[in-house]
Amino acid sequence: MIFAWSILGAMGAAFLAWPLSQVLPRLSGWILSLAPLSIFFLLLGEIGSVSDGAAHVKSFAWVPSLNIELAFRLDGFSLLFALLISGIGTLVTIYAGSYFNGKSTADKGRFLSLILAFMAAMLGTVLSDNLIVMFVFWELTSLISFLLIGFDGEKSEARASALQSLIVTAGGGLVLFAGIVLIGITLDTFSVSEVLERAGELVASQLAGVIAACVIVGAFTKSAQFPFHFWLPNAMAAPTPASAYLHSATMVKLGVFLLARFDQVFATLPGFGETLVVAGSITMLVSGLKAIRAESFKAILAQSTVASLGILVMLIGLDSEVAAVATVGFILAHALYKAALFFCAGTAIHATGEARLANLRGLGRALPFTAIATILASLSMAGLPPFVGFISKEYLFEAQLDSSWAIFPVVVAVIVNAVMVGVAGVVSIRPYYWPTKTPTVVEHGETPGMLVGPMALAGFGILIGLFPAIVAGTVIAPAASALRGEQIEVSFGLWHGLTPMLALSVIVVVIGSVIAIWWEAIHRRLAQYDRFFSLLGDRFYRSAIDSTLALAASSTKLLQNGDQRRYTAVVVLTVTAALAAAFVSMPDFAFLAAEGDIRFAVVAVLALMVLGAIATALVRSLIAGLVASGLVGFGTAVLFMMHGAPDLALTQIAVETLLVVLLTAVLLRLPARRRHSRTGGERNRDAVLALGFALMIFVALASVGVSPIDLRLSEYFANASYVEAYGRNVVNVILVDFRAIDTLGEIAVVAFATVAAWGLLRGPAKLIRTKD
């Protein structure tokens, strides 16, 4: 099973990208594209092994005690995704190599490295057979997406968009993780293959609804479905090659991938399909509207991508058999034309430095091949014959008409597809061939590296449209069969005869043409309703984030205001309240274990300590206060000594002494006597707090002695100390041997906290020095 190693191959290429871009800056894109290309051909070789609907699983042990193994699964559906990932990955690598030629080699190396690392993560997600492993790769794609959207980190807009996408997708990922854990609890397995086999068991369980909801939230956030649709258009802050790859062709389809996989499991769960159809339809309508309203070239494409994802989600929710074929067909068609369109948009923006569609004019002469590729890809998006987009749209309508749903999804699909036709017309004709007297100035023309991608994808679109048999039996049928869990025959032909679907297609093209012709007018009309559009955007996300930050600010102001007395008061109050609550809730509460004789020596030491404590509170001189509180500390050490704990006594003495030495250094710089800095009222309040705290601690300590102590552990350590760890000092043996890992953790915390405090102490010292 060589397919599992493709992930490792992509990972290796990611590590090579940086050094290679330093050594061979102009060629690195071409050379690195060999990695995804060979993965692509390697996967092509696997087509034969899954064509009969079979699934191959290969696993390596990872964490056997938790049921987690590095298991990978190849079936028709994951193969389709893997082919898209590696195929488009090849073209993106080449394209990015040229796109970044004007930039620094450091930027180029960083970008190529991220793109290849992303490819590894994507391959991992679609090929995983273990849900935990899949989740790890899933979140990895979110993280790399974050890094790519924020690639131009010096722009605040890019940083905000990157953070937004991370919060939405990684947050949804956590919900998905909850769903995965619940699946593990219910079925006692994380294996995708086994979950698919035992679907009935999962649906019958009590948790089925919760699990389905978790999976849906995870998928909706990743695939930008309503109400999480707002992050994807903002993600266009990423460099265009990343937008083409992550935010149209591959990553955003992961949610669709997940839903399609789990549709097989949850299809019989009431409400699952309906949720998908409704959410998909809302997403389609919202993003269709926003596409016409959008200004920049990439934003229009991004909105149409969200609409396409909505179509896919709706298709998965439909219950007809042909829906599986329609889903698979549309995934393929959309990946081909949308990636091509993003490439072309990137070339146009790169060549002119102008992102707004309205300002791009007359580029057909300067960028002739890009213009042709745009036209070809747009025709596929518009769903015109003989392009693959036409076939997939026919299947979309057939799936809707075949389903148990009434006319509602069909109407939505007609509207949204008409918008797609409009978008296709506008993005292909307007920037390139619209008659104009002042064509936009082109700084540099097309380069071979920036043409390979769009030309290849647009070419594939028409090739598959003309000869659908190339993919029908090899890719589409196995993928659709994998989704249905049974072998299905697929014709995937261009001509279906005079069907209702064809009639719908004609309607779509007519409305779409109207939209394309009057685009400018509709656009201006919609611009008057910007208040309405702001409701469809990320307004709710922003207010949620803002109020969270405001809450953090106000709670910090309340609890961490920089006044040590406030801190002490909060801690004391919390402990007192918690102890009081514990005592009240305890049914038969008894304290004061009055056993044994009263020993004079102990009483004497205690009396001294009490005196010390009272003196500390009363004296005005800081040095006297230090000495008085020292009485309490050393008294404690003596008490330890009297009760047979020399270890504790030694430590107490050492700490106490050190404290005196440390505080002396601080006190040397303070006035020897101080005035009260608190008002009388404040002091009374603090006194009440202190007394209440003391009372609670006294009651707690006194009641500790009442309940019998479980001595099993102490006895075990006492007995095993010398036999197993060769030490007679039980305390130390526990510290360095039995519980050494705890000690290691503690000293690590001490070390890091110290380094942090040390760094903080250095700051002001430097400032003072520069002032002098």
Partner 1 sequence: MSLIFTTMTRIFFILLLVASIFMLFRGHNNPGGGFIGGLFAALAFALLALSDSVDTARRALMVHPITLLGLGLLLALLSGLPGLFSDSSFLRHWWTSIGALHVGTATIFDVGVFLVVIGGVLSLVFRFYQEEPA
Q: Give the nearer residue to partner 1 in terms of CB position, either 552 or 756.
A: 756
Q: Give the nearer residue to partner 1 in terms of CB position, either 587 or 763.
A: 763
Using alpha carbons, select from 593, 567, 579 the residue that is nearest to residue 709: 593
Q: Give the nearer residue to partner 1 in terms of CB position, either 487 or 651.
A: 651
The region, left, alpha or beta by phi > 0 then psi within -120 to 50, assigned to residue 592 is left
Q: Give the nearer residue to partner 1 in terms of CB position, either 699 or 735.
A: 735
Q: Give the nearer residue to partner 1 in terms of CB position, either 703 or 743.
A: 743
Task: Tell me the closest approach of the beta carbon of residue 669 to partner 1, in angstroms.
Answer: 6
Please give the single-letter amino acid code of residue 63.
V
Task: Tell me the closest approach of the beta carbon of residue 718 to partner 1, in angstroms.
Answer: 14
CA distance 579 to 570: 14
Q: Give the nearer residue to partner 1 in terms of CB position, either 398 or 656.
A: 656
CA distance 494 to 478: 19
CA distance 482 to 476: 10
- The C-alpha R_g of the chain, in whole angstroms, comes to 34
CA distance 676 to 618: 11
Place of tokens 């685009």: 519
Task: Tell me the closest approach of the beta carbon of residue 629 to partner 1, in angstroms.
Answer: 18
Greatest CA span in the chain, whole angstroms? 109
Task: Tell me the closest approach of the beta carbon of residue 608 to partner 1, in angstroms.
Answer: 24
**Residue 664 structure tokens:** 């002396």
Q: Give the nearer residue to partner 1 in terms of CB position, either 560 or 732.
A: 732
Between the CA of residue 317 and those of 275, 311, 640, what are the distances in Å? 7, 10, 71
CA distance 447 to 454: 12
The region, left, alpha or beta by phi > 0 then psi within -120 to 50, assigned to residue 597 is beta
Q: Give the nearer residue to partner 1 in terms of CB position, either 552 or 718.
A: 718
Specify the long-range contacts of residues 468-473, CB closer than 8 Å, at least 24 apart: 468/388, 468/391, 468/492, 468/493, 468/494, 471/332, 473/51
CA distance 229 to 366: 36
CA distance 725 to 700: 35
Element (H, E) at 563: none
Task: Tell me the closest approach of the beta carbon of residue 202 to partner 1, in angstroms.
Answer: 36
Using alpha carbons, select from 302, 538, 534, 317 the residue that is nearest to residue 408: 317
Q: Give the nearer residue to partner 1 in terms of CB position, either 319 or 647.
A: 647
The per-residue DSSP string of 615-627 comes to HHHH--BHHHHHH
Q: Give the nearer residue to partner 1 in terms of CB position, either 603 or 658.
A: 658
Q: Give the nearer residue to partner 1 in terms of CB position, either 598 or 741.
A: 741
Task: Tell me the closest approach of the beta carbon of residue 634 to partner 1, in angstroms.
Answer: 15
CA distance 307 to 283: 6
Task: Tell me the closest approach of the beta carbon of residue 104 to partner 1, in angstroms.
Answer: 35
Task: Tell me the closest approach of the beta carbon of residue 261 to partner 1, in angstroms.
Answer: 36
Task: Tell me the closest approach of the beta carbon of residue 484 to partner 1, in angstroms.
Answer: 45
Name the residues that contact partner 1, by CB under 8 A. 646-647, 650-651, 654-655, 657-658, 661-662, 664-666, 668-669, 725-729, 731-733, 735-737, 740-741, 743-744, 747-748, 750-751, 754-755, 757-758, 761-762, 765, 768
Q: Give the nearer residue to partner 1 in terms of CB position, either 600 or 758.
A: 758
Task: Tell me the closest approach of the beta carbon of residue 61 to partner 1, in angstroms.
Answer: 14
Name every residue whose Cβ is closer than 8 Å to that of residue 23 and which is 6 or more positions away in sequence: none
Where are the strands (E) in 100-151, listed by range?
none
Q: Is 138 helix (H, G, I), strand (E, B) or coil?
A: helix
Main-chain dihedrals φ then ψ at residue 670, nearest 5 degrees: -105, 155
Q: Is 606 helix (H, G, I), strand (E, B) or coil?
A: helix
Q: Give the nearer residue to partner 1 in terms of CB position, either 549 or 748.
A: 748
CA distance 642 to 605: 10
Task: Tell me the closest approach of the beta carbon of residue 65 to partner 1, in angstroms.
Answer: 13
The per-residue DSSP string of 706-772 comes to TSPP--HHHHHHHHHHHHHH--S-HHHHIIIIITHHHHHHHHHHHHHHHHHHHHHHHHHHHHHHHH-
Task: Tell me the closest approach of the beta carbon of residue 42 to partner 1, in angstroms.
Answer: 36
Q: Give the nearer residue to partner 1 in terms of CB position, either 711 or 765.
A: 765
Q: Give the nearer residue to partner 1 in terms of CB position, either 643 or 685.
A: 643
Q: Half-sphere exposure (CA, 13 Å, Cβ side) for 530?
A: 5
Please give the single-letter amino acid code of residue 463.
L
Task: Tell me the closest approach of the beta carbon of residue 636 to partner 1, in angstroms.
Answer: 16
Is the preceding peptide bond at 386 cis, omega within 30 degrees of 0? yes
Task: Tell me the closest approach of the beta carbon of residue 749 to partner 1, in angstroms.
Answer: 10
Task: Tell me the closest approach of the beta carbon of residue 231 to partner 1, in angstroms.
Answer: 41
- Measured at the CA of 593, the angle between CA 592 and CA 599, to 5 degrees, comes to 100
Task: Tell me the closest approach of the beta carbon of residue 667 to partner 1, in angstroms.
Answer: 11
Q: Give the nearer residue to partner 1 in terms of CB position, either 42 or 663.
A: 663
